[in-house]
């Protein structure tokens, strides 16, 4: 049984076709690469999958162990998200950014270990403005993983990384998938295909 079923989802913004109709089954514990040219709808598909955007056509259906609720109600605890915009809380330290989604959970990943794995340990007490864009992006990856969510959606999570740190990010996402999390990653990074179980390529407009 798949974890999430997308059936014929599509989206336009005024006259711009953002996403052609696509159907997709995401299986438990797989790492799926979402490829395709710029503007082909990768971000839009992630946003629709997570319930942050409503598709014009089609449906997104979660299956157990996800609760039978609209995807929009599953964020943070069940669905971790790495936005392209990174989206950390500016007023909170990196440690507190990780504590935010994990606040009500006891079975959280070891936060210190997670920060270490992503080469962020020495920045734990800094605020986002005091670290580089690449470090902020890795912190967003850590925040998405900290609840041990069932599903992780990551939008270009290596776009601000050098090669070595891109590897760290992808190895950590791979480890999450190996531990049972379903991971969908939109990216152009050729490194991603080495870690992915399969690649879905969206056609350009």
- Residue closer to ligand ADP by CB (options 169, 186) is 186
**Spatial CB neighbours of 6, under 8 Å, sequence gap ≥ 6:** 22, 23, 24, 25, 26, 45, 48, 49, 58, 59, 60, 61
Residue among 42, 160, 172, 195 that touches ligand ADP (CB under 6 A):
42
Choices 31-39, 114-122, 125-133, 171-179; region in contact with ligand ADP by CB under 6 A: 31-39
Contact 82, 153 (CB under 8 A): yes
DSSP character for 168? Answer: H
Cα 109 from Cα 142, distance rounded (Å): 10
3-state secondary structure of 171: helix
Binding mask 105-144 for ligand ADP (x = CB under 6 A): --------------------------------------xx
Instruction: Report which residue's Cβ sits closest to ligand ADP.
Output: 87
Residue among 55, 62, 101, 157 that touches ligand ADP (CB under 6 A):
101
Instruction: Kindly state whether residue 104 participates in binding ligand ADP, applying the rule CB under 6 A.
Output: no
Residue 177 main-chain phi, psi, to 5 deg: -65, -45
- Residue closer to ligand ADP by CB (options 7, 75) is 75
Choices 11-19, 57-65, 127-135, 173-181; region in contact with ligand ADP by CB under 6 A: 11-19
- Residue closer to ligand ADP by CB (options 13, 130) is 13
Cα 156 from Cα 145, distance rounded (Å): 15
User: Between the CA of residue 194 and those of 134, 174, 198, what are the distances in Å?
Assistant: 21, 10, 10
By CB under 6 A, name the binding residues for ligand ADP: 13, 16, 18, 36, 38-44, 52, 75-76, 79-81, 83, 85, 87, 101, 143-144, 186
């Amino acid at each position: 049984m798949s974890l999430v079923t997308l059936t014929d989802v599509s989206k336009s913004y005024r006259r711009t076709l953002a996403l052609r109709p696509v159907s997709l089954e995401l299986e438990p514990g797989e790492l799926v690469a979402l490829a395709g040219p710029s503007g082909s709808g990768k971000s839009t598909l992630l946003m629709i999958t997570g319930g942050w955007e409503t598709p014009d056509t089609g449906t997104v259906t979660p299956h157990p162990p996800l609760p039978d609720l609209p995807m929009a109600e599953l964020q943070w605890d069940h669905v971790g998200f790495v936005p392209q915009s990174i989206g950390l809380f500016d007023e909170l330290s990196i440690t507190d950014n990780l504590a935010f989604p994990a606040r009500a959970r006891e079975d959280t990943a070891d936060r210190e270990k997670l920060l270490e794995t992503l080469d962020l340990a020495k920045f734990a007490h800094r605020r986002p403005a005091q670290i580089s864009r690449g470090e902020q992006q890795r912190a967003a990856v850590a925040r998405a993983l900290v609840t041990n969510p069932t599903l992780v959606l990551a939008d270009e999570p290596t776009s601000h990384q050098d090669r070595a740190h891109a590897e760290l990010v992808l190895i950590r996402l791979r480890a999450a998938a190996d531990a049972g999390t379903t991971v969908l990653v939109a990216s152009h990074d050729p490194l991603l295909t080495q870690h992915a179980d399969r690649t879905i390529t969206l056609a350009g407009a």
